[in-house]
Structures are given as structure tokens and as C-alpha cells.
Chains A and B, each alone.
Chain A
Amino acid sequence: MSSPYLHINGIRKTFGEVVATDHVELEIAEGEFMTFLGPSGSGKSTTLYILAGFQDPTAGDIRLRGRSILQTPSHKRNIGMVFQRYTLFPHLSVGENVAFPLRVRRAPQAEIAAKVRRALSLVRLDGFEDRMPAHMSGGQQQRVALARALVYDPPVLLMDEPLSALDKKLREEIQHEIRRIHQQTGVTILYVTHDQEEALRLSDRIAVFNTGKIEQVGTGPELYASPATHFVADFIGNSAFLAGDLVAIGAGRASLRFADGTVLADIPMHGTGLAGGKAELMLRPERIELTAQPGLSGASLPVTVEDVTFLGNSSTVSARTGWGEVLSVRMNFGHPMMGQVRQGDALHVRWQPQHAHVFAKA
């Protein structure tokens, strides 16, 4: 059995009493685009800095092609990195910035010239060699940083929220560039972001970080369709959570009773819980719909319409359950019910049984 290309093996990092990352375990395949997604302080950047060699882990190991890299200092790891604030060398021209990694490696002049030209062409900045970084836009500077990080063919490219300093339109443009460059070079990328949309758009797989731990690893559709924890369900997509009591559990399914006595049976359940414990039902606004008649048992609830907000291509309906919790329903433009729903209407929400999830509360 061959070892994984990059193995983050049980990394733990503490700063005094504070645990920054706790037993982070991840295997990354060669050429994969892996994103660390999580709120600030979730340990995703700490993990990246440990990979870069800026910090040493308290415990655990990092192996690249089966060999530990922890004893290797940053400048010998050969890893590429793109930072949040570009961090180009302000006293060097674009060409010299990109040439820097090759110059410190004492590469021959002809090779430097050829590789710099190729790297700048890769990020579509042909002919910008003599420009100074200060005279370029943020997006251009970040592309130079990308060229500088790729010019020495690193085995892994780290990207630490590289687009957070750019405005929305530019961000989307550079996201396309990053995808194209990933496909063109096949470089293995570890990408850190707190933006779920960015993560979904770019990644092969996403590792969702929360309070120093990985909550779930999977492709975007996997995380969206079957979130393993409440946190993942909440962080990816916009969900409503309805609180209730677990009344029966079996074979990955549960029955839930709500405050007014309503019972929903046979819902997919995540995590472990005991009958009588507290739990939450997750419903995504785009996976439920309003109807006049109740749906299948266990996949429908009576509601009262609170408010209707028109948003152009869709409308959002706020609906109140019998026991007073509010959830939102998205209705795409052209839906037969659109324009007929009024505040105060007594209707039902219904959904496909596999689209609801129960999370036991700790």
C-alpha cells in the first residue's frame, strides 16, 4: 500500500493554555485542490503555518511523499506560498520578484530568464517584467505572487486567504485564474478561506475547521447534501434549525417531537443521541416548498405565513411553525404559488424525506 502524497498526521498545536489545532488528520492526493474552510480562530491558518514551517506543532507529523518535513527549515521545504497581503518584495521589479526563488537557488541565468517568462505567461502578465509592484493593482500583484510561488515547481502550493484583500468582482476573476492555473499545472494546492462560496467554487475537497478540529472532509456536494455535524450544516448553505426531543432512534434514523406535540418520524440522523435527548431538525430553504395540502408523513409541517420578500429571481417566505419557530422557504421565480402567498395564510411546508437531517445536541 502506498503512502498518501501529503499526510497531515495528528497535528496538535497549543499556545500556552490555548489549543489552536487538535489532532488534525488529513490525507491529500497529488494534484488535489484541498480547501481549509472555517471561521477565524478555527485552526486552519495555524495548520497552514505549520506546513510552511513558520510554527512547530506541539505533537503530530507532516509527511510529504512518505517523508517527514518537520525537521526541514522553511527555506529548504521547497513549498510555495501566496499570502493574504501579496508580500511582494517592494524594492524588486516584477521580473526580479519572480526570479528571486531561482536566484537564491543559484540557477543559471538562461534558465532563470526562461522560467520567469513562463511563470509570468502562466498568470497572464507577459511583458510585465520591468514593472514595480507598487505600480500595479491588487489583483495584478497577487498574480505576481502566484507566479513567484510557482516558478520553482513546488510540490505543494499554500494559499492563505489570497483574495480577501480584493473586491468582489476581482475576487471572482482571480478565482477563475486560480482554477485554470490548477488545471494547467496540476500542482497540489492547500487553500485557506472563510468564504464558503469561494471554497465550493474552487475545491476538489473541503476540510471544514471549527475550534481547532476538522468537523468533516468531503467534496462540496457531499458537505452540502449530507453534513456530518450541526456546524457544517450551518456553515455551508443557509439552514433553519428546529429544536425538538428525540423520541425514537434506529438504523441512522430518528423521530423527533416538537414543542406543540407534533412528531416527525424516520428522518436521517447524524451523530449519536439517546431517546429523550435534545436534537435539531435542519431544513434548507431551497429544499422545501409551500403547498396547500400536507405531504408525506414525516416530511411535512403545517405553518403560517409571516412575511414574503421578493428578491428578483426568487422570493423568500418566512413561515411560522405551530410552536412558534420561524423557517424560511425559497420560491424560484415562476413557481405556481408565487404571487398567491399572503401574510397569514395557513399552508404546509413539505420536502423529500432524504433532504431533512436530525442533529443530536450534545
Chain B
Amino acid sequence: MLSFFSPARRGSGLGTALPALLLLLAFFVIPVAALLSRSITEPELGLHNYRTLLGSATYLQIFLNTFMVSAVVTLITVLIAFPVSWALAIMPPRLSSVIFAIILLSMWTNLLARTYAWMVLLQQTGLVNRILMGIGLTDRPLQLTNNLVGVTIGMVYIMLPFMILPLYGVIRKIDPAVLQAAALCGATRGQALRRVLLPLAAPGIASGALMVFVMSLGYFVTPALLGGTSNMMVAELIVQQVQSLVNWGMGGAAAFVLLVITLAIYAVQLRVFGTEVR
């Protein structure tokens, strides 16, 4: 019976992959194909939807917003998640499991509830502004909602677990003694970080960054609630085209462009990091 689980039997040939392929066909390939076909047939056959999308400054600004916010969110989550993951890896297991529970609990809390909570915190009379004024960093409330600053703050919070989990998985496997070895070899803290810790954590940073960046590109709820109408991201554009304007052609084109960009980023990632990223 054991041989059933052996690597030789597992995943051999098309037979075992068939259910997964069928699932992918029914729920991914066919809808995407349908969307693609509507984007080049509605309202009439041709590429004019794409021409409009890529030719208009308004639409390009929306794509630019999306990339900017996703890139900044990814960068900030890396900067926060790296020390957090390192601390989780070296702290006593009891404490780290409590902190993990808190992180997961926040992940499992309803997304809308969390985003509305940030609206309350970030509004003109909200806690964040009152603290900033209280400690004298600003004398007037800052505009933290209805713009991309709010979107970035809210999305960093939402994306943080998706960065911490893969990063922690990699960092936990690093033997802390290699840092002692580096120190005795003469490396300063900065050199040990640059030459030892960061290269060893790179696969975790890469997979976390890919996850966060790609999820951010297509994110809807947080940009819609915290960003206001004048600072759209691509997902909002798609919803607006399909729901408000019933323009399936434009909506489909925007969605398809987003998909192509996402796949391109994934391909680059695979090329650079090979099989290290799963």
C-alpha cells in the first residue's frame, strides 16, 4: 500500500492531473476566453477597446496608480515583514505562536469590517490624526482617506500576513549560528545582514513580494473604500465599466491587460529565481 504514496506513483502522467486540468478549464480558461472574446467583439469586432484603453491619459493614469500603489505596498510590507519574521523566528515558540494567532485572526476577520475600521481610524477626526496632532507632528489634520495614501496604508495592513508567512517559512530555517560565524569572521552587523541574512532570505522575500504585488494589482475593496472616486485602480475601473456602464467590452479589455501583465511578472520571477519560488 505504501507504494501508492511513493514519488514514482505520485503525479505520473496526464491521468492524475486530469481532474485539476478539467477544473482549471471550467473555472478559469473558459471564463477568461469568454471575457477576451467580448473585449474584441463588443460593441463591434476589433481592437478598438484596447486602443481606447491604452490611448487615453485617464486610463493610463489608472494603470499607473495601480502599479505605483502595488509597488509601494510591496516595498513597505517587505520592510515591515522582514524584521517581524526574524523576531518571530528567534523568539520563544510560545510567544511566536500567540503572535501568529493574532496575525491569522486579523486575516480571518471580514475584509469590509477591517477596511471600514481603517476609514474610521484615518478620517480627519480619527485616532491617527488626533495622535499626530497630540504629539505635535502636525497642527492640522492630514488628508489620509479618499486618496492613494489611505489606499496604501489599508493595503499594507491587509497584505502584511501574505508577506510574513512565506518570509517566516524561509527565515525559520536559517541557523542563527551562521550570524555568529559571520561576526567572528569579521563581519559588522550591516555586512552580516547584506552578505548572509538577506541572500538566505531572498527566496522568501521574492515569493512574498510576488504574492503581495500580484494581489495588489487586482485589489478592489480597499481602493474603492479608502481611495475615493478620483483615484481609481484597475479593479475599480473594471467594476465601473461592467456594472455602471454595462460596457463588457471595455471591462473585459482592462481585465485581460491586467492578466497579461500579471503573467508576465510571474514569468520574470520564475526566470530569476527558478524553482526556489513555489
A81–B196 Cα gap in the complex (Å)? 17
Out of A52, A75, A87, which one reaches B186, CB within 8 Å? Answer: A75
Q: Say which one of B13-21, B64-72, B101-109, B174-182 lies at the interface with A.
A: B174-182
- The stretch that binds A, out of B141-149, B187-195, B217-225, is B187-195
B175 touches A87 (CB 8 A): yes
A80→B184 contact, CB < 8 A: yes
Within the complex, what minimum Cβ distance (angstroms) separates B144 from chain A?
Answer: 41
**Does B188 contact A75, Cβ atoms closer than 8 Å?**
yes
Question: B184–A89 contact, CB under 8 A?
Answer: no
Q: Which of A73, A75, A78 has most chain B Cβ within 10 Å?
A: A75
Contacting residue for B187 out of A53, A54, A85, A104, CB 8 A: A104
Q: Which among B184, B188, B191 has the greatest number of chain A C-beta atoms within 10 A?
A: B184
Size of the A side of the interface (Cβ < 8 Å), in residues, is 27
Asked whether A200 is an interface residue with its Cβ less than 8 Å from the other chain, the reply is no
B200 within 8 A of A: yes
Q: Are B177 and A89 in contact (CB under 8 A)?
A: no
* In the complex with contacts A91-B200, A104-B191, A78-B178 CB distance below 8 A: no
The smallest beta-carbon distance between A116 and chain B, in angstroms, is 13
Q: B residues engaging A (CB < 8 A)?
A: 175, 177-178, 180-188, 191, 195-196, 199-200
Query: What is the bound-complex CA distance between A287 and B195, given in angstroms?
Result: 57
CB < 8 Å neighbour of A89 from B180, B186, B196: B196
User: Given B180, B195, B200, which contacts A90 in the complex, CB threshold below 8 Å?
Assistant: B200
Q: How many angstroms between the C-alpha atoms of A77 and B182 in the bound complex?
A: 12
Given A100-B187, A152-B186: A81 in contact with B181 (beta carbons within 8 A): yes
Contact across chains for A77 and B191 when beta carbons are under 8 A apart: no
Q: Return 29 A-B CB contacts under 8 Å, by A number.
A: A53-B183, A74-B180, A74-B183, A75-B183, A75-B184, A75-B188, A77-B184, A79-B184, A80-B184, A81-B180, A83-B180, A83-B181, A85-B175, A87-B177, A87-B180, A87-B181, A88-B181, A89-B196, A90-B200, A91-B199, A100-B182, A100-B185, A100-B195, A101-B185, A101-B186, A104-B188, A104-B191, A105-B186, A149-B184
A117 within 8 A of B: no
Q: In the bound complex, do residue B200 and residue A104 qualify as a contact, i.e. CB atoms below 8 Å apart? A: no
In the complex, chain B residues whose CB is within 8 Å of the CB of A350:
none
Q: Please, how many angstroms separate the alpha-carbon atoms of A230 and B199 in the complex?
A: 51
Roughly how many angstroms separate A313 CA and B185 CA in the complex, as a whole number?
47
A148 on interface, CB distance cutoff 8 Å: yes
Most buried by A among B181, B185, B186, B195: B185
Residues of A bordering B, CB below 8 Å: 52-54, 73-81, 83, 85, 87-91, 100-101, 103-105, 148-149, 152
Closest 7 CB pairs of A and B: A101-B185, A74-B183, A87-B181, A104-B187, A87-B177, A81-B184, A75-B183
* Residues of A contacting B182 in the complex (Cβ-Cβ under 8 angstroms): 75, 89, 100, 104
Bound-state CA distance A73–B185 (Å) is 12
Q: How far is the CA of A88 from the CA of B177 in the complex (A)?
A: 9
Contacts of A152 in B (CB 8 A): 185-186
15 new A-B contacts, CB < 8 A, other than A87-B180, A101-B186, are A74-B183, A75-B185, A75-B187, A76-B186, A81-B184, A83-B181, A87-B175, A87-B177, A87-B178, A88-B181, A89-B195, A90-B178, A91-B199, A100-B182, A104-B191
Complex interface: chain A residues within 8 A of B199 (CB): 91
* CB < 8 Å neighbour of A104 from B175, B177, B195: B195
Contact of B177 among A53, A74, A79, A85 (CB under 8 A): A85
> Chain A: which residue is nearest B196 at the CB level?
A89
* Residues of A contacting B195 in the complex (Cβ-Cβ under 8 angstroms): 89, 100, 103-104
Q: Which residues of B contact A88 (CB under 8 A)?
A: 178, 181
A247 to nearest B CB, angstroms? 55
- Chain A residues closer than 8 Å to B178, beta-carbon distance: 87-90
By beta carbon, the residue of chain A nearest B176 is A87
List residues of chain B with CB within 8 A of the CB of A75.
Answer: 182-188
Q: Are A104 and B180 neighbours in the complex by a CB distance under 8 Å?
A: no
Contacts of A83 in B (CB 8 A): 177, 180-181
Q: How far is the CA of A78 from the CA of B196 in the complex (A)?
A: 19
Q: Which residues of A contact B181 (CB under 8 A)?
A: 81, 83, 87-89
Q: Which of A77, A79, A81, A89 has the most CB of B within 10 A?
A: A89
Residues of B within 8 A of A90 (CB): 178, 200
**Residues in A whose Cβ lies below 8 Å from that of B196:** 89, 91
Residue of B nearest to A73 (CB): B183
Most chain B CB within a 10 A radius of its CB, from A74, A78, A149: A74
Nearest-neighbour CB distance to chain B for A75, whole angstroms, equals 5
Query: Which residue on chain A has the smallest CB distance to residue B200?
Result: A91
